[in-house]
Amino acid sequence: MHAVQSLLLHADNLTVERGTRPVISALSFTAKAGEALLLVGPNGAGKTTLIRTIAGFIRPSSGHVALKGDSEDRDVAQSCHYVGHLTGVKANLTVTQNLAFWGAYLADGAGGRDGLADRVDDALEQFGLSRLADFPAGLLSAGQKRRLGLARLCVAARPIWLLDEPTVSLDTASTELLARLIQAHTAGGGIVIAATHLPLGLEQPRYLRLGASPEAPA
């Protein structure tokens, strides 16, 4: 991972509209290196909208998101891994080919492809997909596809992880694995922003409540 100990993501007075209705209104927050920020709130509160805005898929009607301290001099979108509701799995490619595609696509310059095959192998092993390496991804179960979608976090170094309901379709063991990966990423100076209805088993995460949210899970 790149040296990102001074990384800082800041949203300033962010307003995002859907049609003419504001989904997020005048929101400001900061996420620092080494933090996991969990977005909580009821359905429709804007959790997915906020994550997609940070990722650069939605343009805010006012305000902005800025990144400081990234030694690679990338913009916010280039610094993010985004894993949304859809897994991003290409059904006609094998499990290995899917990860190789994402590793090459997300590589930061030609040098980012060095050692890609090894990173793919490591990701397959970490997510329990090694025995399925040559299977067409379209034949995987929902949980296996979710693990494959998350495995791309391990094949290209990006300091910010944006995860939208990442535990959907995961069993207990896979959820615990994801929690360990998040902890390792933040321990190395990365930032994780995750929308979730369930506790992820993280140590001392921060919470950002959107809408009329109940108390955050323990």
The pLDDT-based confidence of 212 (bands split at 50, 70, 90) is low
Residue 56: per-residue pLDDT: 94
Is 128's pLDDT higher than 50?
Answer: yes
The pLDDT-based confidence of 18 (bands split at 50, 70, 90) is confident
What value does the mean pLDDT take over residues 44-70?
A: 93
What value does the mean pLDDT take over residues 64-83?
A: 86
Please state, as a whole number, how many other Cβ atoms lie within 10 Å of the Cβ of residue 98: 27
End-to-end CA distance of the chain: 30
Q: What pLDDT digit, counting tens, does each position of 129-186 carry?
A: 999 999 999 999 999 999 999 999 999 889 999 999 999 999 999 999 999 999 999 9
The CATH code that applies to domain 8-209 is: 3.40.50.300
Is 11's pLDDT higher than 60?
Answer: yes
Please give the residue that has the higher pLDDT: either 204 or 94: 94
Domain range summary for the chain, segments of one domain joined by +: 8-209
Residue 111: per-residue pLDDT: 43
- Please give the Cα distance from 44 to 69 (Å, whole number): 32
Residue 113: per-residue pLDDT: 64
Is 121's pLDDT higher than 50?
Answer: yes
The pLDDT-based confidence of 107 (bands split at 50, 70, 90) is confident
Mean pLDDT of the chain: 89
Residue 108: per-residue pLDDT: 58
**CB distance 148 to 154 below 8 Å:** no
- Please give the Cα distance from 24 to 49 (Å, whole number): 8
